[in-house]
Structure formats: structure tokens, C-alpha cells
Amino acid sequence: MLDIKFVRENPEVVKENIKKKFQDEKLPLVDEVIALDEKLRDVKTEGDNLRAKRNKTSKEIGVLMGQGKKDEAEKVKEEVGEINDRLVQIEEDTRKFQDELKEKMQVIPQIIDDSVPIGKDDSENVEIERFGENYTTDFEIPYHVDIMDTFNGIDLDSARDTSGAGFYYLKGDIARLHSAILSYARDFMIDKGYEYHIPPYMIRSDVVTGVMSFAEMEDMMYKIEGEDLYLIGTSEHSMIGKFINTITDEEDMPLKLTSYSPCFRKEVGAHGIEERGVYRIHQFEKQEMVIICKPEESKKYYDELWKNTVEFFRSLDIPVRTLECCSGDLADLKVKSCDVEAWSPRQGKYFEVGSCSNLGDAQARRLKIRLRGENGNYFAHTLNNTVVAPPRMLIAFLENLLQEDGSVRIPEPLQMYMGGKEKIVPKK
């Protein structure tokens, strides 16, 4: 959410940013919020003046009563009563204008970074850099569910019976591999100096609307019926929410956090054939990284975050690339974002395995996450990035580490989490 003072003083900048995001339908909002802001400031000023007048007038009542001027005192009481009636209306108008202003302001997108490429949608995202050489194999690589099935490692049919489409059972070596990757990711981030957390898996609505847009919430979040609670779609939601209504000394910055959680998502919409199996599902687990920092340092930590993910995947011998998200592909709260994509030798292309985002002060402003400096309090910047999110990451792992004999090689960093195994061998 933008600062209303910034919108008031820079309406054309805000409108140009909306155009860059190809959201022209939102252009009228800028003039609407400026008009609402003026009404709000007017009623607040009137209220302040009336309260000052009431205080002064109320003192006159006592003086008049002391002088025996009861009739004059009664007239002054009537005047105070009229002021109180007007103040009641002003308070109602203030709440109304504040609610309307907040609702409209939350729809206006954050000002994107100057380095963000301009484009309408994800088809215009821009490749930045590749890490590791992409390749094809001399042998055919099966579909990821078929690879898992050779290890007797997946049961989708039973999951459909118990839970419906978009769920799975992982078993045996595949389930162990899934857990090993998460354990390695946890220790990888701890060794990087990030504090490990296991957060709540449900959050209240005020936290949800603080960390994401309403449209995203409707498409992603599962609501707990009868309670003001939502299942998290990523632990970033809980981790940023942890600092709601806090003021932290700026010398304690940055806060570097890494968190494990299950994630729950509606995944609204239709998806392509390569998103069958366990690519796009309603329930998965993820290791996340979050940074809260001073505004002038967020660009530096943005680069640190995506580099962590690249290093993690390369340590497991998986080729990856980074893809800069264009303006039209950025969620409204994001200033800048890039995807990390893993190479699929079976498909001969890359696919997304993580997303790194700099949200500027958008989440901090909504949740009142502030820093205390020499010149007063100010809003922090928040950033997040995926370390790893199996079982999607398992697709990249199985395809890239699959051997011609059907076994899957276990890279050295992962072996300690797999009981020392250097490979897993199919059962079928």
C-alpha cells in the first residue's frame, strides 16, 4: 500500500506506474483516493476545531454558574450539545472515509523498481542468467509420476479417494528423499546465518490482507469455516505477520529468517498437461527465507536471497536459471521479483521452482511494521524467497539425477540425510 501523501503529491507518477502494469481500469482510483483523502482531512480538521471549541465553551459554563447566570449557562450547554451531536457525525464520517480510502488504496499497485522490464504477462519475462549446463540424455526420461512409481513411491489413486484431486501419498525412498531435501534446506539456510522458525499454519484475516492482495487471497487461501482463520499458502505469511504492530531498533536490522511449513492452496484455474502429477497441488511443504531490513538495504538482500536458491540447487547438481518478472506479471504488492527455474531434461525446458520478491514497504505499511531510528520511526522493507518446495522440486531432482539403469543418484550433500545412500534403486 502506498503512502497517501506520496499519491497526493505524485498522482501522475502513480498513474504512470498503473499503466506500466497494464491495469488502466485502476487509473480512476488515483483521483478517487485524492478526493477521499481531502474529505477525510477536512472532517478531521473540523473535528479538531470543534473539540477545541467544546473544551473552551465547557469552561465557560462553570464560570457562568458561579456568577449565578444560569440562563446564559443553559444556552452554552445547548451549544456544547450541538457540538457533541456534530462530533458524533464527524466520527462516523471519519470511519467511513478511512475505510473507503483504505479499500481503494489497497488496490493501487506498489511503485515498481526502475529495473523491472515492461511487459503484459509472464510470456514477456526476461531471462537473466543460467547456472549449470542444460542438457538432454541418451536415454528416455519418464514422466515424474512414472519415475516415482518405479520406486513404489507414490499413490495418487488412494489420495483421490481420501481427499480428491490435487493430493498425493509419497512412500518409501521417495518420501524419504522428500524429507531429506527439506532437512538439507533447513541446515543450508541455518549455515547461511538465518534463524530457523516453525510458524503457525493458520493466520487471521488482518494478517492475510496485510501480506497479500484481496484477489490473491480469494484465489489461494482456504478459509476455516466459523473462525477468523485462514490456512497459510506459504510460511512467509506467518513470518511477516509475526511482526505486526511492532517497532524494532534499526541497529537490529536485518532480520534474516528461514521457516518450514506445510502450504495449502486452492490453485484456482486450469493448467497445462505438464502440471499433472505433483507439479501443482493443494498441499505441499516448503522451506522459505524472509528478510526484514532498512529500506536502503533491500536491493542488496534481494540479490542475496535469489543467489541462495541458485546455490542450493546447484549443490544438488540441478541446472537453473533466473527469470526477471516483467511489470504485468508482478503482484500488486511487489516492487521487483524474479523466478528461479530448474532445467527439465525430459521436457527440454525450464520450469519454476521458486520465486524471490522485494515488496518494499507494502507489507510493512499494511501491518505497521516499523523501525526506530535517530529521526523517528519509519516502515521497514520486507523480502521473501523460496529455498525449496518439494514435491515440485522432486520433479527436477528425479529428472536430473536419474541414471540409465533407473536408479537415482544422491549428491554428496544429501547423503547424510538419506542414511549414507549414494543412490536409490527402483523396486519395479
Q: Look at residue 74 in the predicted model and tell me its pLDDT.
A: 79
Tell me the CB-side half-sphere exposure of residue 213, using CA atoms within 13 A.
Answer: 17
Residues 84 and 187 in one domain: no
Q: Look at residue 384 in the predicted model and tell me its pLDDT.
A: 98
Residues 303 and 276 in one domain: yes
User: Annotated binding site: which residue ranges?
Assistant: 234, 265-267, 288, 352-355, 384
User: Which residue among 63, 78, 107 closes a domain?
Assistant: 107
Per-residue pLDDT averaged across 339-363, rounded? Answer: 96
Of these ranges, 52-61, 135-144, 183-192, the one predicted with the greatest mean pLDDT is 183-192
Q: Give tens-digit pLDDT for 138-165.
A: 999 999 999 999 999 999 999 999 998 8
Residues 276 and 409 in one domain: yes
Of these ranges, 199-213, 265-279, 312-326, the one predicted with the greatest mean pLDDT is 312-326
| pLDDT at residue 273 greater than cutoff 60 | no
Is position 112 within any domain? no
* pLDDT band at 274; cut points 50, 70, 90: very low
Contact status, residue 148 vs residue 174, Cβ threshold 8 Å: yes
Residues 96 and 127 in one domain: no
Residues 35 and 131 in one domain: no
| pLDDT at residue 214 greater than cutoff 90 | no
User: Which residue among 107, 137, 162 closes a domain?
Assistant: 107
Neighbours of 155 (CB within 10 A): 16
Q: Look at residue 269 in the predicted model and tell me its pLDDT.
A: 54
Query: Which amino acid is located at 32 in the chain?
Result: E
Tell me the CA distances in angstroms from 277 to 124, 147, 312, 354, one per residue in order.
27, 11, 24, 18
Q: Look at residue 371 in the predicted model and tell me its pLDDT.
A: 98
| pLDDT at residue 134 greater than cutoff 60 | yes
* pLDDT band at 78; cut points 50, 70, 90: confident
User: Annotated binding site for ATP: which residue ranges?
Assistant: 265-267, 352-355
- Domain extent at residue 351: 122-424
User: Annotated binding site for L-serine: which residue ranges?
Assistant: 234, 265, 288, 384
* pLDDT band at 194; cut points 50, 70, 90: very high
Q: List all residues 6 or more positions away from 335 whose beta carbon is below 8 Å from its beta carbon.
A: 110, 111, 112, 113, 298, 358, 359, 360, 362
Residue with cell 464520517: 93
Q: List all residues 6 or more positions away from 280 whose beta carbon is below 8 Å from its beta carbon.
A: 166, 267, 271, 392
Per-residue pLDDT averaged across 381-392, rounded? Answer: 94
Residues 80 and 133 in one domain: no
Nearest-angstrom CA–CA distance, 387 and 316: 13
Partners of 260 in beta bridges: 287
Per-residue pLDDT averaged across 111-133, rounded? Answer: 96
Q: Look at residue 270 in the predicted model and tell me its pLDDT.
A: 44
| pLDDT at residue 167 greater than cutoff 60 | yes
**Number of structural domains in the chain:** 2
Compute the mean pLDDT over every residue in the chain, rounded to the nearest whole number: 93
H-run or E-run covering 247: strand 246-249
Query: Which amino acid is located at 359 in the chain?
Result: L
Strands (DSSP E) found in 106-173: 126-131, 154-155, 169-170
Partners of 322 in beta bridges: 129, 340
Please give the grid coordinates belonging to residue 406.
Answer: 533407473
DSSP β-ladder status, 230-231 and 202-203: antiparallel
Domain of residue 404, CATH code: 3.30.930.10
| pLDDT at residue 275 greater than cutoff 80 | no
Of residues 428 and 381, the one with the higher pLDDT is: 381
Is position 113 within any domain? no
Burial of 5 (0-12, 13-18, 19+ CB in 10 A): exposed
Neighbours of 185 (CB within 10 A): 26
Domain of residue 41, CATH code: 1.10.287.40
Residues 222 and 259 in one domain: yes
Instruction: Give me the count of residues in the chain.
Output: 428
Per-residue pLDDT averaged across 323-344, rounded? Answer: 96
